[in-house]
Amino acid sequence: LFFSSAPAFSFIYIGGSVEIPNLTYTNDLSDPTSQKFLLQAKAIQNYLAETYESSFLGKYYMRSVVAAFSEGESGLRAYFWNTFWAP
């Protein structure tokens, strides 16, 4: 006999991008293993975490991951996804 039940919660993934006008894209940001990529990604991930954690979504927020960078129209564009959980 096998019983299956639904999980107690679900994960929700939301992707997006943000443009940061006071930062400039450089070629080393195309390498996700470069020191510059890792430092810039960490800074943006920390900013997103602080923003979500201090909002009404804070109790559902799990983490943000910066996946890539590109040159934006007026600065550096960061591509990311956020993970939330929902009861």
Range of the domain at 57: 20-86
For the chain, what is the radius of gyration of the CA atoms?
16
Which CATH number do you get for residue 40?
Answer: 3.30.70.960
12 belongs to a structural domain: no
Q: Is residue 2 part of a domain?
A: no
Residues contacting 54, CB < 8 A, separation 6+ = none
Considering the entire predicted model, what is its pTM?
0.84
Tell me if 66 is assigned to some domain: yes
Of 49, 39, 40, 52, which Cα lies nearest the Cα of 77? 40
Residue 7 lies in a domain: no
Tokens (6 digits) for 10: 């679900």
* DSSP state, residue 42: H
15 is a domain residue: no
From CA 70, how far away is CA 53, in angstroms rounded?
A: 26
Residue 54 lies in a domain: yes
- Total of domains in the chain: 1
7: tokens are: 């999980």
Residues 16-65 pLDDT 10s: 999 999 999 999 999 999 999 999 999 999 999 999 999 999 999 999 99
Residue recorded with tokens 């450089």:
26
